[in-house]
Amino acid sequence: MTRTFLALDLSPELQRFLERAIARGAHLLPAARWVEPASLHVTLAFLGELSDEQLAQAIEAGEAAARQVPPFSYRLTGLGTFGSARAPRVVWMGLEDASGRLQALQQVLMRELQARGFPPEERPFSPHLTLARLKRPLSREEQQALQRLLYEIRVPASLPEHTVETLDVMKSELSRAGARYSYLYRARLATPEA
């Protein structure tokens, strides 16, 4: 069985910016479990533990979806949280894609996965990069530190957009040190017509 998800990568420039944001976050809010910058990705679909046959179907779905959407660019928008102010579960960096192709790719991917027997995703798609996870409610001081972080980390206008050219099928291996990700397959997005 292979713990599998489909995702998009990010550019070295975005990764360096997020590495600095994570370092600042780890300093201000050590109670959170911060993601290793090298592990950052945009998850489009988490599929869980798959058999070899299911993995082949997931790769096929990824290829089919990628053929339907041309390359596109996204930019980082800013920090946010999932959960309440007192008990946030996730600190994330938002994404924006002016072309609408990020949403389109995720929707096409969901259709292709469902056509191959994978269950539909119940939650609405919210494009983001997970930077940290929190396991318990925050103290008042920690809440203030989180608010300070959300205020301090601003995406500079000079930070370039990232052009997405592949949809990646990824493997996730869990350990005490955290999840480790590796590429299983890369599907190239559609070649734009001339």
Domain ranges for the chain: 2-188
Q: How far apart are CA 40 and CA 130, in angstroms?
A: 7
Residue 194 has pLDDT above 50, yes or no: no
Question: How confident is residue 85, by pLDDT bands cut at 50, 70 and 90?
Answer: confident
Q: Pick one of 3.90.1140.10, 3.40.50.880, 3.60.20.30, 3.60.15.10 as the CATH number of 2-188.
A: 3.90.1140.10
Q: Would you please indicate which residues are annotated as catalytic (active-site) residues? A: 41, 128
Residue 40 has pLDDT above 80, yes or no: yes
Half-sphere exposure of 63 (CA within 13 A, CB side): 9
Token pair, residue 107, equals 């929707």
Check the CA dihedral 150-29-39-135 and report its sign. negative
Above pLDDT 90, what percent of the chain?
Answer: 83
CA distances from 185 to 24, 28, 153, 165, 188 (A): 33, 37, 33, 13, 10
Residues 6+ apart with CB under 8 A from 159: 13, 14, 17, 75, 76
Lowest mean pLDDT among 20-29, 87-96, 133-142, 184-193: 184-193
Q: Which of 85, 78, 77 is nearest to 134 (CA)?
A: 85
> What mean pLDDT is predicted for residues 19-40?
93
Residue 93 has pLDDT above 60, yes or no: yes
**Residues linked to residue 96 through DSSP beta bridges, in sequence order:** 75
CA 1 to chain CA centroid, nearest Å: 22
Residues 61-84: tens digit of each pLDDT: 999 999 999 999 999 999 999 998
Rg (CA), the chain: 17
Q: How far apart are CA 165 and CA 69, in angstroms?
A: 10
> What mean pLDDT is predicted for residues 128-151?
93
* Mean pLDDT, the chain, integer: 93
| pTM of this structure | 0.90
Question: How confident is residue 192, by pLDDT bands cut at 50, 70 and 90?
Answer: low
Residues 101-127: tens digit of each pLDDT: 999 999 999 999 999 999 988 888 999
Buried residues in 142-160 as b, exposed as e (16+ CB within 10 A): bbebbeebbeebebeeeee
